[in-house]
């Protein structure tokens, strides 16, 4: 049926809106709801998701939505948008901005007195595997609540969202660790949900073992995330390399992962090599290259990530720069 857009309430339990409301008090403004739904931003379509801007343009082009919103008619007669809050908001914004066309009513599928389980199923299908996915943190938060607040079994959660049990388990554990160790050390306006992916990386057993074996705990990890010792969150995977080495570990605590990796990847030079002139080193390098065993050559070619290959490329880059500078005045 067609419903008046002003007669349908936005769902305040929608993970996007609820996540926003947790950090603000009082009645949210029109602009704050837009921010919560990410309607004002360009979004991220790197994974093929439908961005708010694309959705808005599509609705304008087609003169409306092709897929009705899903509305729950409660026992008291109130109408709540279970699925399609962004589309409902866009219609309302068109009315407010006096966009040409009739945006006062919106196509809707109306269900009466849905159970909590029914609502969960609709959300999971629409936003964990649908075209307008929630952000990773909101997904994980919702999955955690289903398991620990609604006491839904893991198998049922996986069946609802059509996902992978391992991925669902990791998401729930990552959210739990983030709430347990990261939230307590952050102020309300300092809690950055974009750091969630770092806690996903933390679920690797090797990472947690490396942290604990080095004498740290997960609160320390949360502090590293907050302070910027781990800027690129994929670098969490490097901790099993960094933390066991004393020099690298000290550099990591003092600066960041990149600085620690520089310590690890800089080869130790004996006194003879350190005292050799550049001409001696150049001759030695030439002789080493010309006499490299064929088996060693094949090994290096088959292992492009080998330290030796990296050092050879570094030497080549340095030599090319030197030759360029030497020839600049010729």
Shared domain for 127 and 141, answered yes or no, is: no
Contact 58, 67 (CB under 8 A): no
**Does 158 fall in a domain?**
yes
Shared domain for 127 and 144, answered yes or no, is: no
Confidence at 67, pLDDT banded by 50, 70, 90: confident
How far is 193 from 135, CA to CA, in rounded Å? 9
Shared domain for 114 and 219, answered yes or no, is: no
Q: Who's near 78: CB < 8 A, 6+ residues apart?
A: 9
Shared domain for 83 and 34, answered yes or no, is: yes
Shared domain for 110 and 32, answered yes or no, is: yes
Ramachandran bin of 58, using left for φ above 0, alpha for ψ from -120 to 50, beta for the remaining angles: alpha
Shared domain for 239 and 297, answered yes or no, is: no
- Of the ranges 35-39, 115-119, 244-248, 251-255, which one carries the lowest mean pLDDT score? 35-39
**Does 272 fall in a domain?**
no
Shared domain for 149 and 225, answered yes or no, is: no
Confidence at 311, pLDDT banded by 50, 70, 90: confident
DSSP 50: P
Domain, as residue range, for 143: 135-195
| Burial (CB count <10 Å: 0-12, 13-18, 19+), residue 329 | exposed
**Does 271 fall in a domain?**
no
**Does 152 fall in a domain?**
yes
pLDDT at 60: 85
DSSP 244: T
Question: In the predicted model, is pLDDT for residue 48 greater than 50?
Answer: no
pLDDT at 39: 57
Of the three residues 246, 266, 286, the one that is the final residue of a domain is: 266
Segment (H or E) for 4: strand 2-4
Shared domain for 62 and 47, answered yes or no, is: yes
Question: In the predicted model, is pLDDT for residue 47 greater than 70?
Answer: no
pLDDT at 58: 78
How many CB atoms lie under 10 A from the CB of residue 143? 26
Confidence at 42, pLDDT banded by 50, 70, 90: very low
How far is 35 from 17, CA to CA, in rounded Å? 9
How far is CA 229 from its chain centroid? 17
Shared domain for 125 and 6, answered yes or no, is: yes
**Does 234 fall in a domain?**
yes
Contact 70, 124 (CB under 8 A): no
pLDDT at 234: 87
Of the three residues 266, 289, 319, the one that is the final residue of a domain is: 266
The two tokens of residue 302 are 């088959």
Confidence at 213, pLDDT banded by 50, 70, 90: very high
Confidence at 104, pLDDT banded by 50, 70, 90: very high
How many independent structural domains does the chain possess? Answer: 4
Ramachandran bin of 38, using left for φ above 0, alpha for ψ from -120 to 50, beta for the remaining angles: left
Shared domain for 63 and 184, answered yes or no, is: no
């Amino acid at each position: 049926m067609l419903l008046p857009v002003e007669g349908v309430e936005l769902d305040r339990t929608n993970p996007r809106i609820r996540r926003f409301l947790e950090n603000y008090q009082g009645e949210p403004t029109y602009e704050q709801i837009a921010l919560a739904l990410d309607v004002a931003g360009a979004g991220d379509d790197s994974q093929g998701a439908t961005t708010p801007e694309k959705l808005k343009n599509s609705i304008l082009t087609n003169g409306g939505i092709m897929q009705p919103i899903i509305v729950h008619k409660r026992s008291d007669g109130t109408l709540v948008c279970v699925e399609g809050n962004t589309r409902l908001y866009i219609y309302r914004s068109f009315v407010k901005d006096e966009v040409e066309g009739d945006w006062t009513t919106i196509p809707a599928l109306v269900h009466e007195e849905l159970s909590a389980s029914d609502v969960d199923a609709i959300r999971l299908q629409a936003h964990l595997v649908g075209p307008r996915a929630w952000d990773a943190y909101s997904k994980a938060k919702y999955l955690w609540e289903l398991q620990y607040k609604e006491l839904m079994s893991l198998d049922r959660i996986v069946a609802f969202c059509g996902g992978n049990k391992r991925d669902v388990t990791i998401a729930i554990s990552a959210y739990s660790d983030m709430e347990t160790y990261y939230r307590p050390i952050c102020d309300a306006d300092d809690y950055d949900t974009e750091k969630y992916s770092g806690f996903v990386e933390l679920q690797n057993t090797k990472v947690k073992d490396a942290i604990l074996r080095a004498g740290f705990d997960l609160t320390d990890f949360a502090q590293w995330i907050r302070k910027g010792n781990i800027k690129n969150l994929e670098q969490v995977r490097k901790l099993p390399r960094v933390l066991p080495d004393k020099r690298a570990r000290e550099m990591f605590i003092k600066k960041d992962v990149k600085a620690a990796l520089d310590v690890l990847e800089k080869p130790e030079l004996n006194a003879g090599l350190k005292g050799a002139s550049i001409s001696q080193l150049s001759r030695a390098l030439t002789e080493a290259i010309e006499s490299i065993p064929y088996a060693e050559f094949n090994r290096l070619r088959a292992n492009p990530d080998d330290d030796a290959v990296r050092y050879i490329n570094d030497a080549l880059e340095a030599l090319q720069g030197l030759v360029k500078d030497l020839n600049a005045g010729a």
